[in-house]
Structure 1
């Protein structure tokens, strides 16, 4: 405690803002997944209609990841993050204006704008973490703000269950709530955020700690295309293919539980609470574990990859969700899969700042996010079509892939990036 007081801890106030923004982000994007069974009945959607609405979000997310990542690297974290949250809040509230006569196209348009704006959250948050935390603490810091995804996902069913009736009355209200929360966040962000090296509330000791294992970088901007020919970029992009699994839980989980176990809008809150509280624990533990292994003297390469292997093994049992007849066994297995994914996610995000200079992190995270979104688009299209043609048996294949893909992807990531050699400010390998 005395040592922490000597160093200072302003960086954790910045981390709290990242957690707040990510909570808003996931509350906003989770609303439609929680209300999906109700909205389908209200508006007469097929599984393919719902898949197309989800695809609209992910197409925009893919485009946004590419453009917002590079834009945040150029504008800087303060302005770039603000632009992102302003866009997604506007389009989030726009959902409330959709009317039955054009429900599919209306929701698809609102989801498109939401996806574009939300694409800026993780590039900005990862860049902020790289600016404010030394490498040995980044996975833990990332795990903490990444855990806020589950806070948002947990809050959504409780708020919706409290406000929205089973017949869909008041369905618009949850979409409007995030506008007020976003305005509060922007106020706090502008008041509190500056880079640590120029922040008046950061002590010399804290700044020295933040920069303790990072090289000083020049201010020259790197062109976005400069990261495209790096194997490390594509290793991260491959690891982000697993985003399709997370979105499957987020956007199709309530539908699966409703169609398989008759879970409705009034009793979805407890199952989602269990799933996402497990996910929170996984996110924090996964971020802590790799850092703890590094503090024991393990190399970054070994600590990150052994942690990722443990995550993949924790996720494996989710393959059996569709063959169990017990609602709560299914929920626990999905929760374990979500926990493993969040631990995985905390570590793969940190791979970027382990390897790339801070000024390239948002661009690389954006490229990886785009690849994850494309994987989600393919998964949505396939699942929607299979469910319409073959009924709920389509979930068997979805969960089988969700459980087994992480081990395969980890092997391919290791082949692309066997040593995790850091790159300097000019993207040249750093010689040890």
Structure 2
């Protein structure tokens, strides 16, 4: 299939733009160490995580607080940004030199565990008593836990209320609105000339499509690692994208590509030129900081039509390498990260609302306004949520790139709705071995 991209921006650039957490990462190239780690070692731990400079700064303070309470343990911290993190981790694990304690992402958790690179948490001494079973289950498969959620977040539609008011449009009832209502809402905003109704930069993200599929009783993946949605469901998704483009609710294809390339901080919502966008709740602060004004959080449309599609997602995980040099020291570090006042006083909601529910309740009054906004949204949403999706299968880390690629051919009219769906399903099936 040919692709017409007048902006000249490569898909690799688009995938790395940081929108909606949609960045690509290399897949694990070789098996990890199968030794199972040392019960008691020399107390030296390599600790890896990704994030922004503020996260690096407070995580180092957590490390310092931990070391002050644990004589005989030394930590070599390795902070990184998202893409570089996965490149380095792939090389490290492939070379048999995996970090002892590390952040993990749901897209790659099963890949690394399957390659024998992660230790089952059941082999460690970590207090999990304040973490709900449903939250723990997001890091479990085949009867073992390979990642402990750092915290939870949820998808939301972030709305700039000032632009909605300027457009003369009423704010919708997000407990009852449909996708058709959403299209009308964003179309009316765009036609008013006050702002872009929606930039469409998140419609190529598989997590948002998964909510759409779950609302129809389907899912992105099944328990046995196959595709869990039908062609008609994905066809309906792509048709909605085209209908929104043709109605003016979203911009033309070239503008969408340019918004992708600009990155999250320069996307329409953050720059005050776009009225709405879908993001995870732990991304609110960064966007509001750039925008310089407050946003409103609405539920994803369509939740009341059939069944809920929204769910609490683990923001990220703490994992331990199978080749860990000192299990006892690693257990103490992860336990401190999850359960200590010192850790959560610094971390607050940056890695999602704490998975430790006692700590979550304790820090609520301490949260900055943006994190409080997300916390209130999650609290209101939780009673209406369905069970979360399964851990993605091996190879699913490529889904973001694949969906972005077919989305681009669709919006430039290089492929039809049916061709776009077929291309996505064929390519992703090949990657996950379905």
User: TM-score normalised by the shorter chain: which range applies?
Assistant: under 0.3
TM-score normalised by L of structure 2: 0.23
Query: Which has the larger share of helix?
Result: 1
